[in-house]
Structure 1
């Protein structure tokens, strides 16, 4: 069709909702990745041993790299890295892992630390050497600031001696084997100059050729990890010498007359600088979880529509999705998946535009989003797997790999619980009630919310009003952080651990409530961009379902606080059921808005109406025509 200046092109409801999920400029931001995963090299292969699947992941990594106009540009762009994870995550979790490590942690750190230097990156950009990142150790994970690998400055040779002092200091889980080709790593080690420690720094260290570890480097494969077959290893160093230029970043004061500062504040700053790629990494983990949840939900909705079962007497066969017990959990999952997508984009946008003044707040939102999204992704994927029965347990139907893949995201870039605990502490002790505001409400709660000092709006409202539901979500956050502060105040004075233990349970609930509120605000912002019509109606239904289910979980607290009436609490189940029915009625259209390539869905048999053909047997008795009538047995 030729479009003239007088033609008006009206996007479909699915297209408008795709813009909500992926951003207004989704064709530019996501189109490359949608096309890439539709090509033959990224189609799902049948079977394969773990080693064969690992080789495939590295082969795909090189194909991906050849498809890029610039690996450095990808490494420097958190939005592009997030899109990579969002689309590759459902296709090949192992590929997504090694690609994220190479581009974000390895190349990204090199670009961050060595900006303006003449370091030659051509081997890594051309994938002649694959990059990896070695930070955590056997006994130092979330407390990586305490890692024990050392890099002692050798004045005579003007370089550094890397050493692993004991078994607990072995680098834990980097992909350092020769699988996939020669590897080079960025090694986080404690810098020692003349016996004085100067904090954790990164060192560029060749690790393997294409067959084995290099001298001074010891690499052992870890036991197989459930799910994606990445070559996770234990890596140690036996007094390995590397040149001065192996040290990333500022080398002033090392080996010269200048004195390198070694105050605790400087050591902490150097560690945080060394792991600066953690925040973009958390965004990528959220993206991978969002993409995997969307793909799994799409398969479950499609399968539920064409899996036929016997209906009530006289009604013939009906799709299993006709039953409330089947479509109800998927409708709730749909509201959650949209919320996950909106919170992911909200955190990504906030990180991209943050300044030095609000960087800490943006980092905290990214951390909260990462934990909440990956946990919710696991719940959605497990629910969808159950709704698809035994067939979803088979690897060829794609879901089992995504169940285990999201477990990696829950742990990567900081275990979720530790990440949320830090956010809880920041929000709990950095704000507190407004000065002089100590008057409790009916529940004994002060009126400061969990992230600041803004009083919660206690105006009565109706359950059909999204603004009222938004106020309730803010109140849930306030309630839990107020409880956390009270718990801390009851603990023995001067006992910091007891104080935190008394507050942490409620504070973590406050962080969860904060994530719900941020996701709900994402819904409200997205609705404001949509014109009147079907897309807006669908998103409004999802928004209300998401909010009502959270309000229902916290209805007792809201009732005691005087924010809900007893009648409203009684109305919650019926209001929720009405929304579940509305969302379920449009589930296939909502799945269409995920914009998943047909090639991707075609590789999962249960995503298509002819799923039984995957089990056809060319030698089966049904292939031999009608059976001959049998003769009665002789008496």
Structure 2
């Protein structure tokens, strides 16, 4: 992979942030080049947060700030086309920007990945002038889903009818349900162009859904024939989500993004190397898969920042001890540090799985279609599991920070709501997990894969990570065997009845598959570390993560003969020992996230003097007359 960002980039934020082994584990062996630019960027002034506890900016002001930051980001790149061509850069962008400004991460991801990335992917043979989009004279957006078609976007009803007389296409929205739903298409931020997913009609024949490049707005209003209406405010980041419709809007033939999925020639004839309308649609929106990797990256970055803040706050928020004991930091209590220790194990697992998926997806680009499909399924599974895990971690950390965590100036509320967007974006988690479940259930290779152990090989010790990984593989097989058995009981039912019978356990199987992949990622990371304290810390995290998941299925494993009654009885003590071990190192583990000091300084509760953010210059302790004692603040 070539260097794609300005080598100088923004300055500041430390000199050796990625020197620790655990940082390398989390961010990859090439962390300095892959993440250094973005880490420095979020520490610069345009990306800093206000620390005042007073009322923050309005939604419109936050959206304006996100677009101003997008322009600052774009100006710092040596070429705006290069992030669009590099999934690692896109993932790193989301990993670092989402915790700072979820709205910025959203508009940047749409512009660089879904918009510019699609243009680059489909116009390789006949590249068009992209200068307006590279220089942000026009911001790119992506119009796929409709009011009546979300996860079934292949059924969109917006039409693009080929007009041979004018040698172009007429876009039209036939009814209310076909309005494009939630694209950021208002003039906010500047003029916009969009890639519109529409049903291509040539000589009255439906050829499937394709993308067309369409100018949408100028600096102040929608262009003729296009209606753009703001949707009600949504929870989370204040992006300008809109309803967008077309009334007989003409675009020339060059607007169609062609490729192997099809194109309309100069003779007005449609030709395609891809059989089937669904395959053509999937080829047209291929950038959605990269978008799912980016959603995982956003979730990983947001969970790491939230956990780091919670660990720091827990260390300097003191509570009363017993009657004769001095106050102690709240994190000293097992009820407080235990959930944070388990969150730490989960965050490392999420980070390692994200990198495992990113590596496989990058390698799959040059592999046969079957391998690409397997890699894409893992992307889908990881996106769902990681974003759901991130929500659990973020909510837990918010709660550990009490009322302080509810205040907007401490940053957590924005991340609590922001993760909900990642769970739904680029395909609802449940929908993409259901598709993955069907694939895994009917994948004959699953039963014979080398990672699937035979039942008799599960004897071992609960302190051995390899044994725990084997148990997790058995959990996965138990759930898919149950799904297959339930499906077999309705041999004469229709597809929906058969799937309904199997989907419950099959979805549990997908979750187990994700957990096993995360545990395998832990195993691989441990194998690459030399003996020493860092390896010990990672081993403790890995075993805590795996053991807690084994404990959740201990009844099934006991019933199947894979655990003994004595092992089940010992699970609680084994987990508690690991919680104690991990809790003793929470601050240094949080340091391995390599978060810049400038970023942490923008959240008041991340600092030991967090009460200073609430000081009152006009209060009595500052204004007592000379010679009289001023009030104190503890």
Q: TM-score, normalised by structure 1?
A: 0.93
Question: Unpaired runs of 5+ in structure 2?
Answer: 1-15, 630-634
Residue deviations 1:146-200 (CA, integer Å, cap 9, x gap): 0000000011100000000000000000000000000000000000011111000
CA contact (8 A) 1:177 1:221 kept: yes
Residue deviations 1:256-285 (CA, integer Å, cap 9, x gap): 27454699x421121011110011101000
2:561 corresponds to which residue? 562
Map 1:542-553 to 2 at 5 A: 542-553=541-552
1:247 corresponds to which residue? 256
Counterpart CA distance in 2 for 1:531 and 1:39 is: 35
Counterpart CA distance in 2 for 1:61 and 1:76 is: 18
Change in 2 beyond 3 A, CA 1:199/1:351: same
Choose which of 293, 301, 305 in structure 1 pairs with 2:311: 301
Choose which of 7, 28, 42 in structure 1 pairs with 2:47: 42
Residue 255 of structure 1: how far off its partner (Å): 5.9
Choose which of 415, 419, 423 in structure 2 pairs with 1:406: 419
Counterpart CA distance in 1 for 2:396 and 2:446 is: 39
Choose which of 160, 164, 167 in structure 1 pairs with 2:169: 160
Counterpart CA distance in 2 for 1:371 and 1:242 is: 37
2:352 corresponds to which residue? 342
SS of equivalent to 2:42: helix
Residue 456 of structure 1: how far off its partner (Å): 5.0
1:601 corresponds to which residue? 600
Question: Unpaired runs of 5+ in structure 1?
Answer: 1-10, 435-447, 631-635
Map 1:366-515 to 2 at 5 A: 366-431=379-444, 455-456=454-455, 458-515=457-514
SS of equivalent to 2:276: helix
- Verify: 1:65 aligned to 2:65, yes or no: no
Counterpart CA distance in 1 for 2:456 and 2:129 is: 57
Choose which of 17, 26, 31 in structure 1 pairs with 2:22: 17
CA contact (8 A) 2:193 2:215 kept: yes
2:4 corresponds to which residue? none
2:143 corresponds to which residue? 134
Choose which of 73, 85, 90 in structure 1 pairs with 2:94: 85
2:33 corresponds to which residue? 28
Change in 2 beyond 3 A, CA 1:256/1:590: same
1:237 corresponds to which residue? 246
Counterpart CA distance in 2 for 1:346 and 1:300 is: 27
Counterpart CA distance in 1 for 2:374 and 2:102 is: 30
Counterpart CA distance in 1 for 2:196 and 2:429 is: 24
SS of equivalent to 1:203: strand
1:579 corresponds to which residue? 578
Counterpart CA distance in 2 for 1:621 and 1:583 is: 44
Residue 492 of structure 1: how far off its partner (Å): 4.3
Change in 2 beyond 3 A, CA 1:298/1:361: same
Counterpart CA distance in 1 for 2:18 and 2:203 is: 67
Residue 627 of structure 1: how far off its partner (Å): 10
Counterpart CA distance in 2 for 1:76 and 1:337 is: 28
- Verify: 1:256 aligned to 2:267, yes or no: yes
Residue 216 of structure 1: how far off its partner (Å): 0.8
Change in 2 beyond 3 A, CA 1:13/1:103: closer
Change in 2 beyond 3 A, CA 1:370/1:503: same
Change in 2 beyond 3 A, CA 1:12/1:98: closer
2:7 corresponds to which residue? none
SS of equivalent to 2:147: coil
Residue 452 of structure 1: how far off its partner (Å): 8.7
2:343 corresponds to which residue? 333
Map 1:180-329 to 2 at 5 A: 180-250=189-259, 252-254=263-265, 256=267, 258=269, 260=271, 265-329=275-339
Residue 544 of structure 1: how far off its partner (Å): 0.5
Residue deviations 1:382-406 (CA, integer Å, cap 9, x gap): 0000000001101000000001111
SS of equivalent to 1:618: coil
How many positions carry a matched residue from both structures?
605
Choose which of 106, 111, 130 in structure 1 pairs with 2:115: 106
Counterpart CA distance in 1 for 2:624 and 2:617 is: 12
Residue 430 of structure 1: how far off its partner (Å): 2.4
The two structures, once aligned, show a CA RMSD in angstroms of 1.9
1:441 corresponds to which residue? none
